Amino acid sequence: NVNEVAFGYKGLQIQLFYTAGNLNTLFKVKYSSKVTEAFDCVEPDDVEVKIREIIPAGFTSNSDDFLTFLEKEAKFKPFGTLLHTYKVQNEEEGELTYQIHKADITCAGFQKYHERLQTFLMWFIETASFIDTDDDHWDFFLVFEKYNKDGETLYATVGYMTVYNYYVYPDKTRPRVSQMLILPPFQGEGHGPQLLEAVHRFYCSLPKVQDITAEDPSENYVKMRDFVLAKLCQGLPSFAEEKLHLGFSVDMYKEAQEKLKINKKHARRVYEILRLRATDMSDEEKARDYRLEVKKRLFGPYRKNQRELAKLKRCLSAEELVSHMAQVDTKTQHEELEKSFQTLVDDYRRVIERLAALA
């Protein structure tokens, strides 16, 4: 229900276990007692029905059956094409190996696997919804950990990304990132940037792709994308340090789009990040130039307000105009602009620190 509270139980436990690779599922509901209609005149929430609406058929409620699923894990192999392999240093376990694969719905067994995989969205992302996999415009990118156990090679699901290929007139496509999730045990280890970079590199190799976007991205996604795109662009000739101080150029946008499928808006953010890195902010004049350059872009929406205000002046009465003007007073705008600038610079500095850690 709305408050995400199950009514009518004492000691309620909803148990969901997934095998690491194939995500076969054990589902159990346990409780010490529950209200009864006959005695308490109310019905408890039907927790089982609510969970069954999310998890696909094929799960078990029997622990012995689940052990059988676990024994079959050694046979599980990642779906689709291997795009990228990388290593992560782990304090406890040493060097761990990860793989990123691209799959589509035609891969044998993948549709059923994806039905189990997408249930994680419901447990970890509040506004999540399932996608229509019958539509063949979807691409799926999967992250797996590759590990050895008792002499066998096994794979654990780490996370995934879904991308929808939109048509762009006359003969291009625009891949749009729709969903992205790294499972909690693997978060904070750098898998998100690895996945996004692998996806960018995959689409860079396709001439028909115009640029890559994201659907309603979260703040964390935007910060991760800033880092990945800045990392990719810092090696491009048009983003060379001596060119950054000359301002955002057509060459930067064109090169970022042609070589890395980055759109103009994102290329502009990358320019601002790399220019901040190349600017001595203790030099008053250079700091002022940088601040004005970024604020000019941030001022765009306010300028639009001014144009709208000019239109309103022609059709509003004096009282209505005074009321509207009170909402858009200039001092407040300048304060908001300064606040936006400081927040942005803080975010950019964190990206620069992450780039420095790679060097």
What backbone phi and psi angles, to 5 degrees, belong to 102?
-105, 130
- Is 162 within 8 Å of 179 (Cβ atoms)? yes
**Cα–Cα distance, 167 to 169 (Å, whole number):** 7
Reply yes or no on whether 353 is catalytic.
Answer: no
The active-site residue, picked from 215, 241, 336, 353, is 215
CA proximity to 195, closest of 88, 322, 66, 352 = 88
Q: Helix H segments across the chain?
A: 37-40, 47-52, 63-71, 110-117, 119-124, 191-204, 219-233, 241-244, 250-260, 264-277, 284-298, 300-315, 318-327, 330-358
Q: What b-and-e string marks burial along 306-332, b requiring 16 or more CB atoms within 10 Å of the CB?
A: eeeeeeeeeeeeeeeeeeeeeeeeeee
Is the Cα torsion angle 123, 124, 129, 130 positive or negative in sign?
A: negative
Residue type, position 240, single letter: A
- Is 209 within 8 Å of 172 (Cβ atoms)? yes
* CA angle (99 as vertex; 95, 100 as ends), nearest 5: 145
Q: What amino acid positions are annotated as catalytic residues? A: 215
